[in-house]
Structure formats: structure tokens, C-alpha cells
Structure 1
Amino acid sequence: MFGIPSPTRFDLNFRLFGIPIRVSPFFWLIAAIIGMRFGGETAPENTLIIAACVFLSVLVHELGHGLTAKLGGEQPWIVLHGFGGVCASDREQRGFGARLLVTLMGPVAGFLLAIAAVILWAILVTSGVSLGPEAELALSTLLLLNILYSVFNLIPIWPLDGGQLMMTLFDRVSPRNGARRAHIVSFLAAGTGAALAAIWAQWLILTLLLGYLAFTNYVLLSHHHRMIMAEREG
């Protein structure tokens, strides 16, 4: 979702399906905070379950990007950090169709994981298996989390997947001004979302996240403006 942080000696490193994966300590901190927020202070095991679901959900999302890129002949790698993750690749440029497909497969993977949780839940219930509260919490968290995370990522705000899809389409229509227009839409959408989250829902984390995205796109817009002015003066 965001830029790639520098490696540290506290990172967890492993490979999955031939893709190198690095998990930063800050990712575990955010996952634990989410687990404590929704798991309840009196049930530490619920915090661990929700944190594990956050890890699995973000990993599957990034693997959706990574495996698609790998099938296209690329050498991707994944970093989980902060509120999400990043899937990078050795290929700097992709064709229009490949850009759309690789970007879209992250949310698609999340939706598929949500569907898999529902199917598993239905199979267990119809088979007469009695689910404990921990199993019910895990399956319900996977369902809700992957739907929310996938839908959120499809919002047209760069660098979310929706913002990257928008930029790809804008670049196709107007290669010269596509990126600038995508950042304008992203700035307006993130700023509006941050205001609504603060006023109506009073969600501090969401307000800060959307506010940061609005600021990021404002900075990039300013950069594009300076480049245009420099070209005109030149």
C-alpha cells in the first residue's frame, strides 16, 4: 500500500511460492493494536486470533499481486509493514493489460479468501462439527476483514489499488497528464474521506490514514506543478 521501508535485523524473512517475503516489526505492532481494539481487553487469545487474521489477510492480498506478476515472468517480492504491504518487482514497466491485472488481483485474492472462509464455515456446520468461539471468531474475522480491506483498497486514492487502477486508465487516455489528474482525484477523495471519518464516524485511525494519503497526494501534485512550470519557463 505504501513505500517500502528499509530492512532491519528485527524483520521476519521467508519465502512462499518462490516469492521472498519480509515482515517488519511495525506490521506486528499495528496487527496487535487492531487485535486489542476488536478482541477485547479481557481475552488476550482473541487479540492473537485477530492479529493472525490480519497477517493472513494482508499476505494473501499481496500474494494476489505477486503470483500474478510471477506468472507474467517477473521476479516479485513482498514487504508487510504498517497498515498493509507492498508487492514490488524487478520489472519497472508493464503493459496496460498487465498493470491492470496485477493491480486488480490483490483485492480479488482478498474476496476469494472471504469466500473460502464462508465455504469452510458452511461445510463445518452442515457436517455437524461444533465450532468453538475461537474458530468462529477466526472465520468471521477473515470474512469481514477481507471484504473491508479489499473494498477499501479499491477506493480511487493513490497508492491504494483503486488509485493505481485509476492512474493506469488515466495514463492510457492522457500519458502526459494522467498521473497529475489521478493525484487530483486521490487528494480530493482522501481529504473528503478523512473529514467524514472524523466528523461522522469519529474513527481516529481511519482519519489519520486518509489524512496521510491526502497529504501524500498533495505533495505529489505540488511536484507535478513545479515540473510543469519548469517546462514552461524552459
Structure 2
Amino acid sequence: MMFVEPPTSHYDVRFRVGSVPVRIHVMFWVVAVFLGLKTDGPTAPAELVIWIAAMTASILVHEFGHALMFQRFGGSPRITLYGFGGLASSDVQPRDSASQIWIAFAGPMAGFTLVGAIALLLKAAGGAIGFSSQPYAAVGLPDVDLTGLRLFGRYLYWQVFPNQHLNTLLYDLFVVNIYWGLLNLMPVYPLDGGQIAREAFQAFTGPQRGIRISLGVSILAAGAAALYAFTHGRFFMGVMFSYMAMQNYQVMAAYQSRSF
């Protein structure tokens, strides 16, 4: 969700994974703590630590998806985590739409791949995991406690383990990599889906018209998402999409004023 690297601070965490330098800005930790706090009661310290670990690992996996695709196209990527997400940037930026679409799509796909790997590990360990049209409580596996997430009118369920910390970690990893990954594919700029839509529109209608169309789609999609969020009690999500709708509207107004 960010395209400008934040200024460095004395509190940044820096390390490398292979050839890719990673910087975690202090504001990333602040936001992670804020998102990990429960709204309906106190948050156990262990739950908060697990949430921060799951969120950090998931966003790193997402950004490494972008980074590896940058490398595929000859770039030298670097990753910055900041605020609500992160940024994978490179000294070499491919100009063609197809390459940009691949780079944008690689982030969510990395998260979905992580979910698939976790599912395979659960299966290999003898655990239950799958999809059902019924709530997971009604799946009816003998002597197995289940939990899960609702997804497109169906239910992803998996086995509850004796270790509650493991259950919390699995739930947090699935939430971030599935729900956030799907939200990130919405055609709202600057989300990955918005970048994909912009490149696709530019490829089919030309650069200027493509940008105008993508901004219009972003405003409509962000507005619809904000309305849904506010009417379903998801205040934070509503604020986030309202901000993106306003941001895209301002960009469209500025772009149109320069076009005339």
C-alpha cells in the first residue's frame, strides 16, 4: 500500500535475506500492535506477540513475491515494511505492462502459496483441513474439534490442536494471507489489484485513457468497499478504503487538470 520509502530512523530493523536487503520501520511495529489489540476485551501478551509474528512473516512473504519477480526481470530489489504494509522496490523497473502485472500479482500469490504449504504440512502431520459448504461445526468429523474461516459462502476448516498458541498462529496466518491477500487484489490503487487493473487498462486503451479508467474504477471499488465495511461494523476497513477513494479522486482531479 505504499510507493515511497519512509525516511530512515535510528529504530529501524535491518537484515538481509539472500541478496535482498530488508528494512522494518518503527511505525510498522506500532501499527502491528494496534491491529493486534482486541476491541472486545483485554489482549493476552502471548496473543499479541503471535499476531505481530504472523503479520510480519506474512507481509515479508508477500513482499518477497514481488522482490523475486523483480529479480526475474533483472532488478536488484529491496524491501521496506512500514505502516500497514510494505514496499518492494528495485533499481530496475520494467516498463512493459505484462512485466508490471506479473510483479504486482506475485505478492498475493506468494501469500496464497504459503497458505497451501501450511495446509500440506497440516495434512502431512495427520491434521484435518478442507472446504465445506456447511459451518465447520457441522462438518462432523469424529473426535475432532474444528475451527475455520468463512470464504465466499463456504468454510475453510482445520483441526484444533492441544497447543492454543499453535491454534492462534494458524488462525492469524490464514487471516492475513487469505483475507488480506484477497482484499489486496481489489482493483483499487495503490493495492496490487489496482496496479494490475491500471496496467491492463493502459495496455488495451492507451496510457492516458488507461490511467483515467483505472482511477475511476478505483474510486468506485474503494467507495463500495468502504460502504460495505461501515454497514457491517468494520470501522477500520471502512476508514482505509474511504481514504483510498479520496486519494484516487484527488489524483484523478489533478490528472484531468493537467490534461486540459
**Residues 14, 23 of structure 2: 8 Å contact kept:** yes
Q: Give, in angstroms, the shift of residue 97 of structure 1.
A: 2.1
Verify: 1:178 aligned to 2:210, yes or no.
yes
- Deviation, 1:140, is 2.3
Q: Which stretches of structure 1, 4 residues or more, deviate above 4 A after TM superposition?
A: none
Structure-2-length-normalised TM-score: 0.82
CA shift for structure 1 position 210: 0.5
Unaligned residue ranges in structure 1 (runs of 5+): 230-234
TM norm structure 1: 0.90
Q: Provide the C-alpha distance between the structure 2 equivalents of 1:15 and 1:131, rounded to a whole number of angstroms.
A: 35
Aligned to 1:190: 222
How big is the shift at 1:135? 1.1
2:84 paired with 1:90: no
What pairs up with 1:193-204 in 2 under 5 angstroms? 193-198=225-230, 200-204=231-235
Q: Which whole-Å deviations, capped at 9, do the CAs of 1:148-168 have from their partners, x for residues lacking one?
A: 111011000001000000000
1:56-104 CA-to-partner distances (Å, cap 9, x unmatched) read 1111000000011112210111111111111111123432221111111
| Bigger fraction of residues in helix | 1
Cα RMSD, aligned residues only: 1.9
Q: Would the alpha carbon gap of residues 42 and 162 (structure 1) be closer, same or farther in structure 2, given more than 3 Å must change?
A: closer
Check the 8 A contact 1:155/1:162 in 2, yes or no.
yes
What is the alpha-carbon distance in structure 1 between the residues aligned to residue 217 and residue 58 of structure 2? 28
Q: Which has a greater percent of strand?
A: 2
Matched with 2:178 is 147
- Gap runs ≥5 in structure 2: 128-160
Alignment correspondent of 1:99: 100
Q: Is the 8 A contact 2:37 2:43 kept in 1?
A: no
Separation (CA, whole Å) in 2 of partners of 1:42 and 1:169: 43
SS of the aligned residue for 2:14 comes to: strand
Deviation per CA, 1:153-204, whole angstroms, max 9, x where unpaired? 1000001000000000011012221111111110111122112211x21212
How many pairs were matched up? 226
User: 1:134, CA displacement in angstroms?
Assistant: 0.6
User: Which residue number corresponds to residue 17 of structure 1?
Assistant: 18
Shift of 1:42: 4.8
